Amino acid sequence: MQRIAHAKWQGDLKTGTGSLTTASGVLSDTAYSFHSRFEQGAGTNPEELLAAAHAGCFTMALSAQLAQAGLKADSLETQCTITVEQKDGGFTVTSSALVLKAKIPAASQEAFEKATQAAKAGCPVSKLYNTTITLDAQLEA
């Protein structure tokens, strides 16, 4: 399985502009720039897309873990925050923070924690990241 995305860029780093397109068409010449990445400009940025990828991957992995435990969620809502900091003369992703709110009928706290930890460790995006990954998981009644 392979997934494809394409980036275009024109100009220098601070005043240039670019666009991102995915083969699926979800992103189609979606704007990105220095301002959307390091300030509050319009458009997307690579770190926002990393956050979306991690939130989506973790949530699907959790659904699979729950199924293996004989459980099915009414809802799983995951927010991911990617933190970028300036270090050693450049920028680096320093953490990925997952926050989960879950409604899972008949799930014990123990089964929930086992499934969330397995999903956090086993999701392919988690395996890709070379950074601190945190998880705040709440099982709601």
Cα angle 26, 16, 4; round to 5: 30
Per-residue pLDDT tens digits for 88-117: 898 899 999 999 999 999 999 999 999 999
Distance, CA of 83 to CA of 90 (rounded, Å): 14
Per-residue pLDDT tens digits for 127-137: 999 999 999 99
Contacts of 25 (CB under 8 A, 6+ apart): none
- Are 54 and 124 in contact by the 8 Å Cβ rule? The answer is no
- Are 36 and 14 in contact by the 8 Å Cβ rule? The answer is no
Distance, CA of 31 to CA of 8 (rounded, Å): 10
Per-residue pLDDT tens digits for 27-48: 999 999 999 998 888 899 999 9
Per-residue pLDDT tens digits for 66-95: 999 999 999 999 999 999 999 889 889 999
Intervals of CATH 3.30.300.20 along the chain = 46-140
- Dig out the tokens for 116 from the structure: 């969330």
- Dig out the tokens for 92 from the structure: 């680096």
- Are 54 and 96 in contact by the 8 Å Cβ rule? The answer is yes
Q: Find the length of the chain.
A: 141
What per-residue confidence (pLDDT) applies to 40? 82
Q: Which class would CATH give 46-140?
A: alpha beta
- Are 33 and 43 in contact by the 8 Å Cβ rule? The answer is yes
